[in-house]
Amino acid sequence: MQPDHGVLAPADALVVADHRTSSRHIGHYRRVSSTTSGQDLLTTGEAAALLGSSRQHVVDLCERGHLVYVRIGTHRRLRRADVEALAKPTLTRDQERSLWLHRVVAGRLTMEPDGTLAKARANLDTLRRAHQGNVAQRWIEQWQILLDGPIDSLLDILTSPTGRAIELRQNSPFTGVLSEQERQMTLSSFHAHWRRDHST
Protein backbone atom coordinates (compact mmCIF):
# COMPACT_ATOMS: atom_id res chain seq x y z
CA MET A 1 0.00 0.00 0.00
CA GLN A 2 1.24 3.47 -0.85
CA PRO A 3 0.67 6.81 0.93
CA ASP A 4 -1.12 8.31 -2.05
CA HIS A 5 -3.94 5.78 -1.81
CA GLY A 6 -5.53 6.87 1.41
CA VAL A 7 -2.88 5.52 3.78
CA LEU A 8 -0.59 7.90 5.66
CA ALA A 9 -2.39 10.99 4.37
CA PRO A 10 -1.17 14.37 5.65
CA ALA A 11 -2.08 14.71 9.30
CA ASP A 12 -2.35 18.50 9.18
CA ALA A 13 -5.58 18.11 7.21
CA LEU A 14 -7.30 16.69 10.28
CA VAL A 15 -9.29 18.68 12.79
CA VAL A 16 -8.56 17.30 16.24
CA ALA A 17 -10.80 18.13 19.20
CA ASP A 18 -9.66 17.89 22.79
CA HIS A 19 -10.03 14.12 22.87
CA ARG A 20 -8.42 12.19 25.72
CA THR A 21 -6.98 8.72 25.15
CA SER A 22 -7.11 6.28 28.04
CA SER A 23 -4.87 3.24 28.40
CA ARG A 24 -7.81 1.45 30.03
CA HIS A 25 -10.02 1.58 26.94
CA ILE A 26 -10.11 3.14 23.51
CA GLY A 27 -13.32 5.11 24.02
CA HIS A 28 -12.86 8.84 23.60
CA TYR A 29 -14.48 11.52 25.67
CA ARG A 30 -14.28 15.27 26.07
CA ARG A 31 -14.53 17.22 29.27
CA VAL A 32 -17.67 19.32 29.43
CA SER A 33 -17.07 22.96 28.55
CA SER A 34 -19.45 25.86 28.07
CA THR A 35 -19.36 25.15 24.32
CA THR A 36 -20.03 21.44 24.67
CA SER A 37 -22.81 21.86 27.22
CA GLY A 38 -24.66 24.12 24.79
CA GLN A 39 -24.74 21.49 22.07
CA ASP A 40 -27.61 19.10 21.38
CA LEU A 41 -26.58 16.18 23.59
CA LEU A 42 -28.30 12.80 23.69
CA THR A 43 -28.45 10.09 26.29
CA THR A 44 -27.26 6.63 25.26
CA GLY A 45 -30.91 5.55 25.16
CA GLU A 46 -31.83 8.38 22.81
CA ALA A 47 -28.82 7.59 20.63
CA ALA A 48 -29.90 3.95 20.52
CA ALA A 49 -33.35 4.98 19.31
CA LEU A 50 -31.82 7.03 16.46
CA LEU A 51 -29.55 4.16 15.46
CA GLY A 52 -32.25 1.53 15.83
CA SER A 53 -30.03 -0.44 18.17
CA SER A 54 -29.81 -1.40 21.82
CA ARG A 55 -28.45 0.94 24.48
CA GLN A 56 -25.65 -1.55 25.14
CA HIS A 57 -24.60 -1.34 21.50
CA VAL A 58 -24.24 2.44 21.87
CA VAL A 59 -22.14 1.92 25.02
CA ASP A 60 -19.97 -0.52 23.08
CA LEU A 61 -19.53 2.04 20.28
CA CYS A 62 -18.38 4.57 22.88
CA GLU A 63 -15.93 2.15 24.46
CA ARG A 64 -14.51 1.17 21.07
CA GLY A 65 -14.04 4.80 20.09
CA HIS A 66 -16.62 4.93 17.32
CA LEU A 67 -18.65 7.58 19.14
CA VAL A 68 -17.15 10.51 21.00
CA TYR A 69 -18.93 11.25 24.26
CA VAL A 70 -18.82 13.64 27.18
CA ARG A 71 -19.23 12.85 30.84
CA ILE A 72 -21.90 14.66 32.82
CA GLY A 73 -21.50 13.26 36.28
CA THR A 74 -21.41 9.49 35.78
CA HIS A 75 -23.50 9.55 32.60
CA ARG A 76 -22.42 9.59 28.98
CA ARG A 77 -23.82 12.17 26.61
CA LEU A 78 -23.36 12.13 22.84
CA ARG A 79 -23.66 14.85 20.23
CA ARG A 80 -26.70 14.40 18.01
CA ALA A 81 -24.61 15.26 14.93
CA ASP A 82 -22.16 12.43 15.69
CA VAL A 83 -24.96 9.91 16.14
CA GLU A 84 -26.73 11.00 12.96
CA ALA A 85 -23.46 10.81 11.02
CA LEU A 86 -23.00 7.25 12.25
CA ALA A 87 -26.53 6.35 11.26
CA LYS A 88 -26.04 7.67 7.72
CA PRO A 89 -22.32 7.74 6.94
CA THR A 90 -21.32 9.44 3.70
CA LEU A 91 -17.79 8.75 2.49
CA THR A 92 -15.89 10.66 -0.14
CA ARG A 93 -14.32 8.73 -2.99
CA ASP A 94 -10.88 8.84 -1.35
CA GLN A 95 -12.29 7.74 2.00
CA GLU A 96 -14.11 4.81 0.46
CA ARG A 97 -11.02 3.84 -1.54
CA SER A 98 -9.02 3.79 1.71
CA LEU A 99 -11.77 1.69 3.30
CA TRP A 100 -11.55 -0.88 0.50
CA LEU A 101 -7.77 -1.14 0.91
CA HIS A 102 -8.06 -1.55 4.65
CA ARG A 103 -10.69 -4.25 4.28
CA VAL A 104 -8.06 -6.28 2.47
CA VAL A 105 -5.57 -5.42 5.23
CA ALA A 106 -8.16 -6.71 7.72
CA GLY A 107 -8.28 -9.99 5.81
CA ARG A 108 -4.50 -10.25 5.97
CA LEU A 109 -4.62 -9.51 9.70
CA THR A 110 -7.01 -12.39 10.31
CA MET A 111 -4.84 -14.79 8.28
CA GLU A 112 -1.40 -13.62 9.45
CA PRO A 113 -1.89 -11.69 12.70
CA ASP A 114 1.67 -11.90 14.01
CA GLY A 115 3.42 -10.79 10.85
CA THR A 116 0.85 -8.09 10.06
CA LEU A 117 1.03 -6.62 13.57
CA ALA A 118 4.83 -6.71 13.53
CA LYS A 119 4.89 -4.75 10.27
CA ALA A 120 2.39 -2.20 11.60
CA ARG A 121 4.35 -1.71 14.84
CA ALA A 122 7.56 -1.15 12.91
CA ASN A 123 5.81 1.41 10.69
CA LEU A 124 4.35 3.10 13.77
CA ASP A 125 7.80 3.45 15.32
CA THR A 126 9.00 5.13 12.12
CA LEU A 127 6.00 7.48 12.17
CA ARG A 128 6.59 8.33 15.82
CA ARG A 129 10.17 9.40 15.12
CA ALA A 130 9.11 11.43 12.08
CA HIS A 131 6.19 13.24 13.71
CA GLN A 132 7.34 14.04 17.23
CA GLY A 133 5.47 16.98 18.68
CA ASN A 134 2.97 17.55 15.87
CA VAL A 135 -0.71 16.76 15.41
CA ALA A 136 -0.05 13.27 14.01
CA GLN A 137 1.22 12.22 17.43
CA ARG A 138 -2.39 12.01 18.63
CA TRP A 139 -3.26 9.43 16.00
CA ILE A 140 -0.02 7.54 16.55
CA GLU A 141 -0.90 7.15 20.23
CA GLN A 142 -4.36 5.87 19.34
CA TRP A 143 -2.92 3.37 16.87
CA GLN A 144 -0.51 2.17 19.56
CA ILE A 145 -3.44 1.39 21.88
CA LEU A 146 -5.23 -0.44 19.07
CA LEU A 147 -2.18 -2.49 18.10
CA ASP A 148 -1.65 -3.48 21.74
CA GLY A 149 -5.32 -4.29 22.29
CA PRO A 150 -7.69 -7.02 21.10
CA ILE A 151 -7.66 -7.77 17.38
CA ASP A 152 -11.45 -7.39 17.22
CA SER A 153 -11.14 -3.67 18.08
CA LEU A 154 -8.45 -3.25 15.43
CA LEU A 155 -10.59 -4.99 12.81
CA ASP A 156 -13.45 -2.64 13.69
CA ILE A 157 -11.32 0.41 12.94
CA LEU A 158 -9.97 -1.05 9.70
CA THR A 159 -13.46 -1.71 8.33
CA SER A 160 -15.73 0.86 10.00
CA PRO A 161 -17.27 3.87 8.15
CA THR A 162 -17.33 6.00 11.32
CA GLY A 163 -15.59 9.38 11.48
CA ARG A 164 -12.90 8.30 13.92
CA ALA A 165 -12.08 5.21 11.85
CA ILE A 166 -11.82 7.35 8.70
CA GLU A 167 -9.39 9.73 10.41
CA LEU A 168 -7.28 6.90 11.79
CA ARG A 169 -7.06 5.23 8.38
CA GLN A 170 -5.75 8.50 6.96
CA ASN A 171 -2.75 7.96 9.24
CA SER A 172 -2.50 4.19 8.91
CA PRO A 173 0.58 2.21 9.97
CA PHE A 174 -0.34 -0.63 7.59
CA THR A 175 1.51 0.68 4.54
CA GLY A 176 3.49 -2.11 2.89
CA VAL A 177 1.30 -4.88 4.31
CA LEU A 178 -0.24 -5.51 0.88
CA SER A 179 1.86 -6.43 -2.11
CA GLU A 180 1.74 -4.15 -5.15
CA GLN A 181 -0.29 -6.79 -7.00
CA GLU A 182 -2.82 -7.01 -4.14
CA ARG A 183 -3.08 -3.25 -3.95
CA GLN A 184 -3.64 -2.87 -7.70
CA MET A 185 -6.24 -5.64 -7.77
CA THR A 186 -8.10 -4.02 -4.86
CA LEU A 187 -8.02 -0.59 -6.51
CA SER A 188 -9.23 -2.06 -9.80
CA SER A 189 -12.19 -3.64 -8.01
CA PHE A 190 -12.87 -0.40 -6.17
CA HIS A 191 -12.85 1.67 -9.37
CA ALA A 192 -15.33 -0.74 -10.99
CA HIS A 193 -17.55 -0.52 -7.88
CA TRP A 194 -17.40 3.28 -7.86
CA ARG A 195 -18.36 3.56 -11.53
CA ARG A 196 -21.22 1.08 -11.09
CA ASP A 197 -22.66 2.24 -7.76
CA HIS A 198 -21.83 5.95 -7.65
CA SER A 199 -22.48 7.03 -11.22
CA THR A 200 -24.71 10.09 -11.54
H-helix or E-strand containing 20? Answer: strand 20-21
What's the mean pLDDT in 145-166? Answer: 90
Q: Can you tell me whether residue 41 is helix, strand or coil?
A: strand
Report residue 66's pLDDT band, with 50, 70 and 90 as the boundaries.
confident
What count of residues does the chain have?
200
pLDDT of residue 159: 92
Give the CA count within 13 Å in the CB-facing half-sphere of 117.
15
CA angle 113, 162, 29 (to 5 degrees): 95
Can you give the C-alpha Rg of the chain in angstroms?
A: 17
**pLDDT of 121 higher than 50:** yes
The span from the CA of 95 to the CA of 72, in Å, is 33
For β-strands 41-42 and 28-30, DSSP reports them as: unpaired
Contact 30, 36 (CB under 8 A): yes
Report residue 39's pLDDT band, with 50, 70 and 90 as the boundaries.
low
Most confident of 53-57, 60-64, 147-151: 147-151
Percent of residues, the chain, with pLDDT higher than 70: 78
Report residue 14's pLDDT band, with 50, 70 and 90 as the boundaries.
very low
Contact 177, 110 (CB under 8 A): no
Contact 58, 19 (CB under 8 A): no
Report residue 200's pLDDT band, with 50, 70 and 90 as the boundaries.
low
Answer positive or negative: Cα dihedral of 182, 123, 109, 154: negative
What's the mean pLDDT in 175-200? Answer: 91
Closest C-alpha to 36, from 79, 7, 88: 79
What's the mean pLDDT in 89-116? Answer: 93
pLDDT of residue 68: 86
Report residue 89's pLDDT band, with 50, 70 and 90 as the boundaries.
low
- Total-model pTM: 0.61
Q: CA dist 84 to 37, 89, 90, Å?
A: 18, 8, 11
Contact 173, 124 (CB under 8 A): yes
Mean pLDDT of the chain: 79
Report residue 114's pLDDT band, with 50, 70 and 90 as the boundaries.
very high
- As a dihedral over the C-alpha atoms of residue 180, residue 182, residue 183, residue 189, rounded to 10 degrees, the angle is 140
**pLDDT of 27 higher than 50:** no
